[in-house]
Structure formats: C-alpha cells, structure tokens
Amino acid sequence: NAGVTQTPKFRVLKTGQSMTLLCAQDMNHEYMYWYRQDPGMGLRLIHYSVGEGTTAKGEVPDGYNVSRLKKQNFLLGLESAAPSQTSVYFCASSLSGGALTGELFFGEGSRLTVL
C-alpha cells in the first residue's frame, strides 16, 4: 500500500537555486496539501488543492508555487530558495476537505536544507 509518496526525501540546495517536490497519492483523494514542519511551530499549511486543476494559498504561501495537473500528483516548487525555507515538508491528502472525517493521510516527509 503506497498511500502518499514524496520525492525526494532529502535535498540540499544553495540560496537562489530552484527545485520541485513531488507528491503522489494512490487513494483517489480529491484534496491535497503541502505543510512545512519547523521546531516548536507544528505544521503550517503552505498551499492546498481541492481537486485536479485547482490550487489555493494556505497560511505561509510566500516563496512557493504549486500545481495539480493530475489528480494523483501535487507539486511544490521553490523558484529561488532561501535559508528560511530550510524545513521538513509534508504532503497530505484527504478524501474530503469537508466535515465528513477531517482525516489527513501524510507522506513520510522531505527534508530540505538551504545553505
């Protein structure tokens, strides 16, 4: 059972470089999310998508872009990486973003370091 898969799991970038994190889910979920996890701050929502072809800003969207060209994939891009973007990034998906269950399914995380 693959569930939610993130690639890459680790990456080191230099300031100003660009990169893309890929999230893939095989559960046919409509909603997908990107969070970042920083010490003492819990998880903060970066962007999310309520379906194929849609994206929306979350709590901390600046410096990131996303795309949802296919239902199963949700890409997170950093156009010009900054040290403040050093973090662990988690992708999650849910069957519905409504009040039905609220349960999110998470990937294992991608640790990004920006030097």
Partner 1 sequence: GDSVTQMEGPVTLSEEAFLTINCTYTATGYPSLFWYVQYPGEGLQLLLKATKADDKGSNKGFEATYRKETTSFHLEKGSVQVSDSAVYFCALKGASSASKIIFGSGTRLSIRP
Residue list 72-111, contact with partner 1 (CB under 8 A): 90, 92, 97-99, 101-109
**Rule CB under 8 A: is residue 42 a binding residue for partner 1?**
yes
CB 36 within 8 A of CB 43: yes
Q: Which amino acid is at 84?
A: S
Which CB, 48 or 64, lies closer to partner 1?
48
Q: Which amino acid is at 45?
A: L
**For partner 1, which stretch binds (CB under 8 A), given 10-18, 34-42, 68-76, 78-86?**
34-42
**Rule CB under 8 A: is residue 2 a binding residue for partner 1?**
no
User: Per this entry, what is the length of the chain?
Assistant: 115
**Rule CB under 8 A: is residue 26 a binding residue for partner 1?**
no
CB 58 within 8 A of CB 113: no
Degrees, nearest 5: CA angle 17-68-55: 90
Applying CB under 8 A, what is the total number of residues that bind partner 1? 24
CB 56 within 8 A of CB 31: no
Give me the residues that bind partner 1 (CB under 8 A), please. 4, 33, 35, 40-43, 45, 48, 58, 90, 92, 97-99, 101-109
